[in-house]
Amino acid sequence: MQVQEALDPAQVFEASLIARHKTLREVTSRGDSSVQQFYRDATVFVTGGSGFLGKQLIEKLFRATNISKVFLLMRMKKGKPIKQRISEMLEDPVYDILKVEQPGFVDKIVPVEGDVAELRLGMSDEDWKTVTEQTDIIFHMAATTRFDEVLRVATFINVRGTRETLLLAKECSKLRSFVHVSTAYSHAKDNFIKTDVLEEFYPSPVDPEALIRMAETVEEGTLNDITRKLIKGWPNTYSFAKAVAEELVRNVGEDLPVCVVRPAIVVCAYREPHPGWLDLSCVYGATGIILGSGLGLMHVIYANDETKIGLIPVDYVNNAIITAGYETARRRGRGARDTKIYTVVSSTRTDSVWGNLRKLFDGKPLLCKSPVAVWYNFWFHTSNATMFWLLTWLIHLIPAYIVDNICAVFGKERRFVRLYKKMGNMSKALSYFTLNYWNFQDKNLENLYNSLSPVDKEIFNFDIDNMDWKEYLLTWSIGVRKYIVKDGLKGTYYAVNKQRVFRILHYILSFLYIYGLYKVVYYSFTLLSLFFKLFL
């Protein structure tokens, strides 16, 4: 008699999360909620639909609202035509459930060739006419989220792209709602640290049209030279460009049924469609910290333990976006003409801080262990710039140079210095948000949630107050293992034993490493002293 193999504890944890979906599936299948009725048979135009946030939005719209069609703006990339890119996009696990429940949804995605960075979104006249005649709802999500993006590119995509999408919306004869996705950090400036950031429009740092003209006419080198002065007060070109884009929404979109949604740092799904779902693009943000630490590669974290976590699950963000689109049309129908801003953050409604993340992993929970880890899982948190620099050199870069030189001797690729420099740059880019905090006000979002029916609260949940943060952080680790590392959520006990071996090796090699450094420094000072005695 064959004995069935016991499930891995990571798989058991995931199964317990999925089991909670039964009620949600039953309620959703009825299709009779107010939000669902609003979207029924609607035609939607989406920019940024191939991104992390956009993919889950499209999945949720089809699975929960029975929309008629999605016009998806997409450009050719790396020589791949848009049909190929969409085909590859649909291979993402985010669509697995939808493929089973609604296999015909693929035929309802209509690719529109274009580029948000181009005038008229790079669309042909024929496509422009088709979209403006048929679209009911627009979700403008396209953006470059690179913190180190050059100002010209950030302006073309995040600012001019917003203007062109608004101009498209003005020509849509059936438009009922326009949702502009910004960021909670659009006005998280230096002088706002530890103060309130309200759900309202703030003065733009520069006139949007003037910035667009500069990007179109000024030589790129000159523009790069003045960038730091131009964005003074903002940490990077991303948040700066998002602040300018909001001014376009206020002015160009003032006669449109428009709203703004400002999410904080968007990370893995809490519940839908799969607990922990994320994609590869996430490794360049906060998820990269979990990945690097889980693999035993990253050991130095630049963060303040007392800084509140600004993380928010991708499914909560999209639930807020979908309901904001519904509410905007409803308010417009009642005669409201003002533009509502909805801030989707966790830091306002939770006491969870970055130190909790450190404590969780210091406790070395079983579920976070992956069998493909390459070294012992340990890390140091510091909020001191000098200490971060020192630890980075001692724990990351010097060992990386040693390993790279060993690789060179054996004819292997030298990649560790490059890897650790990327990690260091990522940590420094994120440090503005892991060292500082802002009191983001989210009253509009709270009122939006409270206005929903019990059924819509179940289907489109974004109630941050009731999140179990310890469970969510574990879910995040599970997601990294399943969707990034792809270890199948297997071998957890093996991973634990592997970490015990790594721990012993770590202490042995650390002793030898510190002793070696001591000898190098000692003999260097001895030789230097001898040099001064002989020649000075």
pLDDT in tens, 488-527: 999 999 999 999 999 999 999 999 989 988 888 888 878 8
* Structure confidence at residue 242 (pLDDT): 96
Mean pLDDT of 79-84: 87
Distance CA 241, CA 244 (A): 5
Mean pLDDT of 38-46: 97
Give yes or no for a contact between 480 and 278, defined as CB atoms under 8 angstroms apart.
yes
Mean pLDDT of 238-266: 95
Give the whole-number percent of the chain exceeding pLDDT 70: 98
Mean pLDDT of 213-224: 93
Whether residue 168 is predicted with pLDDT greater than 50 in this model: the reply is yes
Distance CA 252, CA 467 (A): 37
* Structure confidence at residue 125 (pLDDT): 96
- Lowest mean pLDDT, pick from 198-212, 349-363, 468-482: 349-363
pTM of the entire predicted model: 0.93
Mean per-residue pLDDT over the chain, rounded:
91
What does the chain come to in residues? Answer: 536
Whether residue 341 is predicted with pLDDT greater than 50 in this model: the reply is yes
Radius of gyration over every alpha carbon of the chain, rounded to an integer in angstroms: 25
* Structure confidence at residue 412 (pLDDT): 86
- Give residue 146's pLDDT band: very low, low, confident or very high (50, 70, 90): confident
- Give residue 71's pLDDT band: very low, low, confident or very high (50, 70, 90): very high
- Give residue 2's pLDDT band: very low, low, confident or very high (50, 70, 90): very low
* Structure confidence at residue 321 (pLDDT): 98
CATH number of 30-284+309-353+436-463: 3.40.50.720
- Give residue 362's pLDDT band: very low, low, confident or very high (50, 70, 90): low
Q: For residue 513, which of 407, 358, 400 has the smallest C-alpha distance?
A: 400
- Give residue 356's pLDDT band: very low, low, confident or very high (50, 70, 90): confident
Domain boundaries, the chain: 30-284+309-353+436-463, 358-428+493-530
347: exposed, middle or buried (Cβ count in 10 Å: 0-12, 13-18, 19+): buried
- Give residue 5's pLDDT band: very low, low, confident or very high (50, 70, 90): low
Mean pLDDT of 402-422: 89
